[in-house]
Structure 1
């Protein structure tokens, strides 16, 4: 993750896509704009999942068994879904870099926190 963050920092600088740091108002607007772009990309992930479910149902209606139908659907969206995940990751990394957050450290710390919770949800679909 550290390498991704380092790459993204240079890439955003090269493309002139950094969070604006001129003053509070411009920084605020830049952060909000990037957050909105992130939520748009998350919606595009949902759209790819919707495509997979619709394709699965279409294959099932044509006689394929459920598992085979879903595997075909997953394969058909895999490339586009990967691109949408990459877009999401790019915006998350951009904002993390602005706030000087080490995402790798934050990720492992959060996973330890969740693992050690006293009030864990057990058996829920996640």
Structure 2
């Protein structure tokens, strides 16, 4: 993750896509704009999954494949597109982390450790 964060820090600077840090109002506007862009990318991930499900249905209905075969083909068909959309999401997440000087490697592993050690409230 450190490599990705460093790459994106430089890339975003080169592209002039950094979150503004001039003053509160500009920072707030820039953060909200980037948050909106992140949620748009998340929606695009959902659209790609919807395409997988629609393609699966079509292959079953029109070509007589069983669901497992059709689903495997559909996933492979949209795998590259989903990878691109997930990469867009990752870029925005790293942008926020870089803006706040958060080490995502450290933060991620701390969070996973916290989750692993807490009591699952759904299990009683």
TM-score (norm 2): 0.95
- Residue deviations 1:35-71 (CA, integer Å, cap 9, x gap): 0000000000000000000000011112101111000
Match of 2:48 in 1: 48
Give the count of matched residue pairs.
122
Q: Which runs of 5+ in 1 are unaligned?
A: none
Give the C-alpha shift of residue 31 in structure 1.
0.3
Alpha-carbon distance in structure 2 between the residues aligned to 1:105 and 1:68 = 40
Alpha-carbon distance in structure 2 between the residues aligned to 1:110 and 1:120 = 17
TM-score (norm 1): 0.94
Stretches of 4+ moved more than 3 A in 1? none
Give the C-alpha shift of residue 111 in structure 1.
0.6
Alpha-carbon distance in structure 1 between the residues aligned to 2:59 and 2:44 = 23
SS in 2 for 1:31: helix
Q: Which runs of 5+ in 2 are unaligned?
A: none
Give the C-alpha shift of residue 120 in structure 1.
5.0
Alpha-carbon distance in structure 1 between the residues aligned to 2:32 and 2:4 = 22
Alpha-carbon distance in structure 2 between the residues aligned to 1:27 and 1:37 = 15
